[in-house]
Copies of this chain bind each other. A is one copy, B any other.
C-alpha cells in the first residue's frame, strides 16, 4: 500500500545562481518553465557559471515530500542508464520512495532542468526532457497505481499523445480500485498548449486538482479567479488553488476556504514550492485530516523548501510537525 503514487517527468536539476542581467541577455521569461532542445540546453548551460546537480522533477519532489513527512510514496518516471539516471534513482530510494523507472526503450539521456536562480529567489527553468517525456501506457505499473490511495500526476508530462494515454490509463486503474486521482496543472504555458485535453481530463477523471491562480484561469479561459472557481466547482470535487505568499484557497462544490501560508524569514529559492505544498496537502489528505489542516501541512512543507536552495526538503519534514 502507498499513500501517494506520483507520475511525472524524471529530471535532474542543474542549478546555478545568476544576476537578472543573465535573464535579459538570454531572452528568458523569468519564473517560467520553457522546454528546450539539446542545442539550446547546451547553449544556456555553457553560458552559466558553476552549477550544482540535484534530483528534481515536480512529482518526484512531491513524492520525496510525502516520504519525508512519514508517508509511503511511489514514483513512476523514465530515466536512462546514465550517471544522471543513477543519481535520480538513488535520491528517490534514499528517502524511501519506491521507484518504477519504466522501460529503458530509447537511446536518449536522462532529462535535466536548467534552473537559474536570481537574487530575488525566483527560479527560471529550461527543461531538456530527454527520455523522461517518452513515458507511455506500458510504463504505468498497474500494481503500483492500484496500491496507492491517491494517484498524483503532473501537467508538465501531459504533452505527447503517448503520455496523455498513460495518464488516462493510470487514472482508470486508480478509479477501478477505488482510489482518488489528483493532477497538478504545473504551468500556465502547459495548460495553454493542451487546454482542451486538460479540460477533458479534469472533467472526466480528476478528483483533486492543484494549480495556481494563473493556471486555473488559463484552464477555463476566464479573466477572473472567481469565474475560474465557479468553473472548477462544476468539474472537480476538490480544487486547491495556491496564491503564492498569500497561501491557498480550498474549493469544493459548495465551499471556498482560504488558508494562510507559513511565514519564512528569508526566501532563498522558490523551486519546489508548489511540489512540496502538494506533498503536505496529500499527506494530510491520506491521513483523513480536514482540508484546512491538509493545506497547513502543505504550507509547512513549502516553507521549508523555499528557505534553502534546492527543490527537496533538507530536513525530515515529519520533525516540523507539532
- CB pair A52–B54 under 8 Å, yes or no, is yes
Main secondary structure of the interface of A (DSSP, over half): mixed
- CB pair B55–A50 under 8 Å, yes or no, is yes
Residue A140 is within 8 A (CB to CB) of chain B in the complex: no
**Docked complex: A282-314 residues within 8 A CB-CB of B:** 310, 312, 314
Q: Which of A80-88, A199-207, A233-241 contacts B (4 or more CB under 8 A)?
A: A80-88
CB neighbours of A53 from chain B (8 A):
52-54, 87
- CB pair A90–B52 under 8 Å, yes or no, is no
Report the bound CA distance from A91 to B49 in whole Å. Answer: 7
Residue A46 is within 8 A (CB to CB) of chain B in the complex: yes
- CB pair A91–B310 under 8 Å, yes or no, is no
Residue A45 is within 8 A (CB to CB) of chain B in the complex: yes
Report the bound CA distance from A280 to B121 in whole Å. Answer: 30
**Docked complex: A81-106 residues within 8 A CB-CB of B:** 82-84, 87, 90-91, 93-95
Report the bound CA distance from A52 to B45 in whole Å. Answer: 18
CB neighbours of A94 from chain B (8 A):
48-51
Number of interface residues of A (CB under 8 A): 26
Report the bound CA distance from A83 to B109 in whole Å. Answer: 9
Most B-side CB within 10 Å, residue of A52, A54, A310: A52
Residue A232 is within 8 A (CB to CB) of chain B in the complex: no
Q: Mark A26-60, 1 if CB is under 8 A from B, else 0.
A: 00000000000000000001101111111100000
Q: A46-B93, A50-B54 are in contact. List 5 more A-B contacts (CB 8 A).
A: A49-B95, A52-B52, A52-B54, A53-B53, A53-B54
Seen from chain A, the residues whose Cβ lies within 8 Å of a Cβ on chain B are 17, 45-46, 48-55, 64, 82-84, 87, 90-91, 93-95, 109-110, 310, 312, 314
List 19 interface pairs A-B (beta carbons < 8 Å), by A numbering. A17-B314, A45-B90, A46-B90, A46-B93, A49-B95, A50-B54, A50-B64, A50-B94, A50-B95, A51-B54, A51-B87, A52-B54, A52-B310, A82-B82, A82-B83, A83-B83, A83-B84, A83-B109, A83-B110
